[in-house]
Structure 1
Amino acid sequence: MSTVAASSSRGVWEAGARAGYAVSGVLHVLIGVLAVQLAVGDGSGSADQSGAFAQVASTPFGAVALWVAVVAFAALGAWQAAAALSGVVGEAADRAKAAGKAVVYLALAVTALTFARGGGSGGGQTSDATATLLQAPAGRLLVGAVGVGVLAVGAYHVHKGVTKRFLDDLQRLPAGRPGRAARWSGVVGYVAKGVALGVLGVLFVLAAVHADPSEATGLDGALRTLREAPAGPFLLLLVALGLIAYGLYSFVRARFGRL
């Protein structure tokens, strides 16, 4: 009986984790759409997680959807935390990645909870947190280290997309066009997200070099910075479409991901 109960409990948590990947897909698609709007000249929305949650909150069933997001992200974060602590994922590096993912998904759950309860998340929070960090002993080194870390994560995403290592996270994909579409969504999505994270990492490094917290402006600020580069709107549009592709890949992972 205990074996049956354990299997049932695992099934519930696995379903929650898959729901988390699906909600992450919705979130990335919304961020991509906001980034497309930014690329074509409409900068009224914040092209980051807060902007996406705000979009959801404005819909008729937004409150319900946000509570679903809270539960799904919390379940996915707990699943990753359990994997990191139990050693299910094997090597130390894999356990560290699982721990990092747990922090990200639990933070998303908290952000979704804020919006579900009628609050919001201001776009200046990243700058405020950076300002606090800069005031700490060796603060500039700490901010610079954060920037280098984000750059490394961005490079990892690009590498994972180009080499198609993300396929290791999936079970056998369908044959034919659906399978090819799933693979391309992963390639394009991982590379685009890596580029966005790379720009974000550069902004943190610049904030450390110049001791100016206003330069660390989060994902929305990174995308706006990309828009100001030569051929920026075109580059931003490519990244935006890539973020939408990453969202579509997240749906694939929700269905075919190894857990």
Structure 2
Amino acid sequence: MAVGVARGDVERAGRRAAGHRAFHGLTRGGLVGKGVVYLLIGWLAVRIGMGDGGGEEADKGGALQTVAGGPGGTVVLWALVVGFAGLALWRFAESAYGQPVPEGHKATKRLASFARGVFYGVSCAAILVFVLGGGATSSDQQSKEYTARAMAEPGGRWLVLAVGAGFVGWGIGNVVNALRRKFLEELDTARMGRRVRGAVKTLGIVGRSARGISFGAIGVFLAHAALTFDAGKAKGLDGTLREFAGTPAGPWALVAVALGLVTYGVYAFCEARWRRVETVR
């Protein structure tokens, strides 16, 4: 019985912490940080598409290097560390207590929040390593290395294929949900004016679709690497974006997707203002 009481006390304390105004502020700060990262990734990809990339990579590492080279770079980088830590804690709180959306208590939604919490936690750790002088590793290099290590293990090839399929499914889901305007359920639209709501809706549709297409394409390359048993076929975000320039539309396809990621960065700022960040009580 004592164990049950202690568990209840821990849950109540966790709910109070997750519902605190300071925790919500940390979460919104993290959403701003996410917006900054996507703005920079999109801008770097635009420059690559226009032939002015200068050897920079359109991924998180390239974004961090850009921040580091700017005014107050170290301060901004530490702010990103704190912000992404806040995003991870927010998603873990959702996995424990539910999302503030219809049927947000369901196991599938809680599991999705947990997976996103892990993703943001890894991102936070990567930014922290960069701030402490560890440097930024190319997303393409990381993808190839991790794929090679996985496929060297028994059954690793099928694991890579499953991860690739997961990315494809997640990307398709993002595009479908964007087109169906499902993301509006996550926003406090009652606090928006009619014109603002229309603008946010457009930003969400374009930005979330572009992000879904980008990460879905990463999954395609991972699946191709698994099927051909060639880790060199795997690509990170930078390599995937560059592949759009090889389509019949040429560099303009890359520029279009890149501008979509810039749009997602702007949409993330809207999330910071209107996202429902409270957990289900």
Structure 1 counterpart of 2:134: 119
Find the partner of 1:142 among 159, 164, 167. 159
- Larger displacement relative to structure 2 (177-186 or 13-22): 177-186
Given that 2:168 and 2:219 are in contact with CA atoms closer than 8 Å, whether structure 1 keeps it comes out as yes
Q: In structure 2, the residue corresponding to 1:118 is in which secondary structure?
A: helix
2:81 alignment partner in structure 1:
70
Q: Does 2:31 match 1:21?
A: yes
Matched, 1:194 2:212: yes
Q: 2-side partners of 1:7 and 1:96: how far apart? A: 21
Equivalence map 1:166-185=2 (5 Å): 166-172=183-189, 173-185=191-203
Structure 2 residue identity aligned to 1:22: V
Distance in 2, Cα, partners of 1:141 & 1:121:
29
Identity of aligned residues (%): 37
Residue pair 1:171, 1:256 contacting (<8 A) in 2 also: yes
- Amino acid in the other structure paired with 1:68: A
Q: What CA deviation, in whole Å up to 9, does each residue of 1:188-210 have, x standing for no partner?
A: 00111111112111100111011
Assess if the C-alpha contact under 8 Å between 1:164 and 1:187 holds in 2.
yes
- 1:112–1:246 Cα change, 3 Å: same
Check conservation: 1:57, 1:115, Cα contact below 8 A.
no
Indicate yes or no: 2:70 matched with 1:59. Answer: yes
Pairwise CA RMSD of aligned residues?
1.9
TM-score normalised per structure 2: 0.87
Q: Computing the radius of gyration over CA atoms, which structure comes out larger, 1 or 2?
A: 2
Quote how far apart the aligned CAs of 1:178 are. Answer: 2.4
Distance 2:20 2:230 in 1: 47
Structure 1: gaps of 5 or more residues? none
1:192 maps to amino acid: A
In structure 2, runs of 5+ residues without a counterpart are 1-11
Measure the CA separation in 1 of the matches of 2:37 and 2:186: 20
TM-score of the two chains, using structure 1 as the length reference:
0.94
Report the secondary structure of 1:31's partner residue.
helix
**Cα 1:99/1:145, change in 2 over 3 Å:** same
Match of 2:123 in 1: 108
**Match for residue 21 of structure 2?**
11
Alignment of 1:171-250 (within 5 A): 171-172=188-189, 173-250=191-268
Partner of 1:31: 41
Residue identity matched to 1:114: V
Offset of residue 179 of structure 1: 2.2
3-state DSSP class of the match of 1:90? Answer: coil
* Change in 2 beyond 3 A, CA 1:58/1:211: same
| Number of aligned residue pairs | 257
Q: Which residue of 1 aligns with 2:52?
A: 42
